[in-house]
Amino acid sequence: MSVHGQVKVRTSAEQKAARERERAEKLRLYSTQYENILNNRQLMDSFNLLKQTENILVDHPDCFTLWNIRRESIVKLENGKQKEYLEKELQVTQMCLKSNSKSYSCWYQRQWCLKQLKEKFNLNLYQNELELCKKYLEYDERNFHCWAYRYYLLERLCPSSTSELEPFYENELSFLRSTIGINLSNYSAWHYRSKYLDKLLDHNPSHRSTLLSTEWQLVLSAVYTDCSDQAAWFYARWLLFKQLGIQLISEDEHIKPLEELDELESGNKWCMLALCQLWKGKTENNDKRINYLEQLANRIDPDREQFYRDQI
Amino acid sequence: MGTPQRDVKVNYSEVQKDLLIEKHCAFLIGYGRSHNTYEYGATDYLRMSGIYWLCTCLDLLHSLKLIDQEHIIDYIQKCYDKNSGGYSPCPNHDPHLLYTLSAVQLLVQLNRTDLIDKQSLCSYIKQLQQDDGSFIGDQWGEIDTRFSFCAVACLKLIDSLDTIDIDRATNFIMSCLNFDGGFGCIPGAESHAGQIYCCLGFLSLVQRLDNLDLSTRNMLAWWLCERQLDKSGGLNGRPEKLPDVCYSWWVLASLKILGKIQWINREKLSKFILASQDDETGGCSDRPGNIPDPFHTLFGIAGLSLLNTYDENIIRKVNPVLCMPEYIIQKLEIKMQLL
C-alpha cells in the first residue's frame, strides 16, 4: 500500500512467476498465523501468544494490534514472570527494529516496557537505553524516531536538584556539538541544540549573553566550514531574530563576519539572505539589500523567486 | 562551495510527461482486487487507510463510480468496534484513531454518514484526550500530533468539534513548535513535513492559525519552500533528505494553508510528480523509477491538484486540510482557516 525507496526492476515473465509463488507462500504463512492469533486471542495463554506474535512481528513490526496483544499478555503474567518478559521484550523490539528502524509501534513498545519496569519493578533502565540510541544514531544519524526516543529518555533522566541541572544540560550540548562535528549538516543535532540551549537559558538567565555569544561562534564556525550548510543557517536565523532580537544584534559580532564570508563565498544564497535580513531597517544598506534580493530572485535561486520578491 | 545537495537524478528528456489517468484508475482498482498478492495481504494493519487512499484518488480522477461502493461500506462496518466507538484498519484488528479518521473520511465521501453513531464516536475521541491536551492513538497511550489532527478532523467532519477541550488541545500543538517554525510528533521532537501538515491542519480546522505569529509563519514557510531540491524539482520532508512524492502533499498543503504556495517552483514539481508515474502499470512511486503504490498515487495526484496543473475536469480540486475532494467539503459547508 505504501512503499518507500524500492527500485523497480523489470523482470521476465518466468522470474516474475517464481517470485510471485515465493511471495504467495510467504503471504499464506503470514495470514494463517495472523488469523490464528486473532481468532484465538481470548483462548490462548500468554506465553503462546507472546511466541506467536513475535514470529510475525520480527518481519512486520508495524502490526500494532499484535503489540497490543503482547501488552495484554504481559500484564496478565504474575509478577516474577512479568518482569522477566518485560526485560525480554527489549530484545524482541531490538530484533524488530532491525527489520524496520522507523516503526512507530516498535519504538513505542520499548518506551512502554521501560515505563512498566520503572513503575512496577523499580528498575530504571533509561541510562542503559542511551547506549542503544547511540548505536542506532551511528547507523542512521537522522532517525527521528530514535532522536525523539532519546529526548524522552533524557527528560526522565533529568536531575531534580538545580545544582545538577546545569552540568546535565551542558553535557548534552557537548554530545550534540560532537554530533554536529561528525557531520556538519546534522540537522537533528542542531534541532536538539535549540532545545537544550533554551533550557540552559531558562535555568541560567544571568549567563544569557555569554551563552548566546558562544552559540554564535559555533554557528560561524559551521558556516565558515561549509557555507551551504542549511541546518546552520536555519539555526542562525533563530539565534539572531528569536533569541537575540534586533536590538542586541551588533555590527562587529554578527554582521561583519557574515559580510566577510559573503566576500569569500560570493553568490552564496544562504549568506546573502541572512545579510538581507540583518540589513533590514538600516537605511545605509537598503540599496544593497534590494540588489541582493533581486539577484537571488532572478539569477541565483530562481525556483524561490517569489519568496525573495516578498522580502523586498 | 560546500557539500552538494542530496538529490536524485531524473532524466527529464526520457520520463513520462503526460498524466496517465486510465492507467492510474486501472492500477488503483486492480490493487483493491489483488487480495492474493503479498503487497496487499501483508498491509492489512493499515487497510482502512489504504481504501481511503484508493477511493480519494479515484474520486479526484472522476472515477469513484468504477468501484463497488457497497462492498466498501460493508467492509467499514465490519471494522466498527461497538465497545469503543472507533474503527480498526481490518476486521478483528484493534480500533485506532488513525483508522477511525480514514473510516469517517470514507463514509463522508461515500455519502453514508447516516451509518456513523455520532455519540459513540464523540465519546471515543473525547476519552483519548489527555490532561495536557494531547491525544493518545488508542488505550495503550502512544502520543503523537498526528492523533491530534485525526481527532479534530473526525469531529469536524461530523460537526462535533465542541466535544473536546480545544484550548488545551491547541496548547499541546503549540508545545510541539520548534526553532525552525515547524512541528514534531511530541514536544521536543524534530520538525518533519508530515507532522507540520498535521499541526497546521489542526490549527486551520480549529481556526487558531493566529497562534503562530507573523515571524514564525514566515520562518516556517521559508523552511517549507527550501524543501524543493534544485535538480529534481521534487520536495523532501526534512533538510538533507531525498525527494519523495508524498511530500508534494505534506509540504504543498502546508504552504497552501500558510498562503505561500507561490514560494516554490510549481512547474518543476509537477514534472517531478509526472516523472514518478509508472508508465507500465500505472500508479505513482515515491520517486522516478521506483515501485508504485496507492499511497504515493493519491499524494501525487492530490499534489497536482493543489498545483493546478490540470483543469478541474481532469483532476478535481482537493481540500488542502482534509485531503478530500473540495466539492464534498463545500457541500457539507465545513469551514476552516486558510491564510
pLDDT in tens, B162-187: 999 999 999 999 999 999 999 999 99
Backbone CA torsion sign across A133, A134, A139, A141: positive
- Min CA distance, B333 vs chain A (Å)? 31
Name which of B199, B204, B149 is nearest B173 in CA terms.
B199
**Grid cell listed for B28:** 488503483
**One-letter amino acid for residue B95 of the chain:** P
Distance from CA of B196 to the nearest CA of A (A): 14
CB contact under 8 A, B92 and A39: yes
B223 lies in some domain:
yes
B214: in domain: yes
pTM for the full predicted model: 0.96
Q: Which domain holds residue B186?
A: 21-331
Q: Write out pLDDT tens, residues B193-250.
A: 999 999 999 999 999 999 999 999 999 999 999 999 999 999 999 999 999 999 989 9
* Interchain contact, A185 vs B239, CB within 8 Å: yes
Neighbours of B73 (CB within 10 A): 16
B6 in any annotated domain: no
Do A234 and B2 lie within an 8 Å CB cutoff? no
Contact between B109 and B331 under an 8 Å Cβ cutoff? The reply is no
Chain B contact set for A113 (CB, 8 A): none
User: 3-class DSSP state for residue B206?
Assistant: coil
DSSP structure class, residue B129? B
On chain A, the residues whose CB falls within 8 A of the CB of B188 are: 148, 151-152, 155, 192, 195
Q: Which residues pair with B284 in a beta bridge?
A: B277, B293
How far apart CA A84 and CA A89 sit, in angstroms, is: 9
Distance from CA of A265 to the nearest CA of B (A): 7
Chain B hits for A281, Cβ within 8 Å: none
Domains and CATH numbers, chain A: 16-157 (1.25.40.120)
Distance from CA of A302 to the nearest CA of B (A): 8
Query: Measured between alpha carbons, how far is residue B296 from residues A122, B110, B266, B276, B320 in Å?
Result: 45, 22, 18, 9, 16
Determine which helix (DSSP H) or strand (DSSP E) holds A286, and give its type and residue range.
helix A286-295
Distance of CA B172 to the CA centre of its chain: 21
Decide if B78 is inside a domain: yes
Is residue B9 a part of any domain in this protein? no
Q: How far is CA A132 from the centre of its chain?
A: 15
Q: For residue B1, is it within any domain?
A: no
C-alpha cell of A262?
Answer: 559573503
pLDDT of residue A67: 98
Q: Give the CATH number, domain containing residue B84.
A: 1.50.10.20
Q: Which residues of A touch B36 (CB under 8 A)?
A: 24, 27
Residues of A in contact with B57 (CB under 8 A): none
* A6–B240 C-beta distance less than 8 A: no
Give me the pLDDT at residue B40, please. 81
Is B27:B297 a contact under the CB 8 Å cutoff?
yes
Are B37 and A27 a contacting pair at CB < 8 A? yes
- What does B250-315 look like in DSSP terms, one character per residue? HHHHHHHHTT-GGGS-HHHHHHHHHHTB-TTT--B-SSTTB--BHHHHHHHHHHHHHTT-S-TTTS
B188 and A7 within 8 Å at the Cβ level: the answer is no
With respect to residue B283, please indicate whether it lies within any of the assigned structural domains.
Answer: yes
Q: Residue A184: its pLDDT value, please?
A: 63
Distance of CA A234 to the CA centre of its chain: 16
Confidence at B334, pLDDT banded by 50, 70, 90: very high
The number of distinct structural domains making up chain B is 1
B203 part of a folded domain: yes
- Closest residue of A to B286, CA-based? A4
- Binned at pLDDT 50, 70 and 90, residue B41 comes out as confident
Contact residues on chain B for A305, CB-CB shorter than 8 A:
265
What's the maximum distance between 2 C-alpha atoms anywhere in chain A? 80
| pLDDT > 60? residue B50 | yes
Phi-psi label, residue A249: left if phi above 0, alpha if psi -120 to 50, beta otherwise:
beta
Helix, coil or strand: residue B116: coil
Contact A71 B240 (CB under 8 A): no
CB-nearest partner of A7 from B92, B221, B290: B290
Residue A83: the pLDDT is 97
Q: Own/partner pairs for B27-32, CB < 8 Å, 24+ apart?
A: B27/B278, B27/B281, B27/B282, B27/B283, B27/B292, B27/B297, B28/B54, B28/B57, B28/B58, B28/B282, B28/B283, B28/B294, B28/B297, B29/B58, B29/B66, B29/B67, B31/A1, B31/B283, B31/B293, B31/B294, B32/B67
Dist. CA A264–CA A20, nearest whole Å: 58
Q: How far is A126 from A135, CA to CA, in rounded Å? A: 15
Three-class SS state of B320: coil
Cβ atoms of A133 and A101 closer than 8 Å: no
Of A2, A65, A304, the CB nearest to B295: A2
pLDDT along chain A (312 residues), means of 10: 78 82 87 94 95 95 97 96 97 94 96 97 95 90 94 94 92 86 79 95 93 95 93 96 92 96 97 96 88 98 98 94
Chain A residues whose beta carbon lies within 8 Å of the beta carbon of residue B5: 228
Q: Which residue of A has its CA nearest to B181?
A: A238
pLDDT tens digits for B59-116?
999 999 999 999 999 999 999 999 999 999 999 999 999 999 999 999 999 999 999 9
pLDDT, tens digit (0-9, with 9 covering 90-100), for B108-128: 999 999 999 999 999 999 999
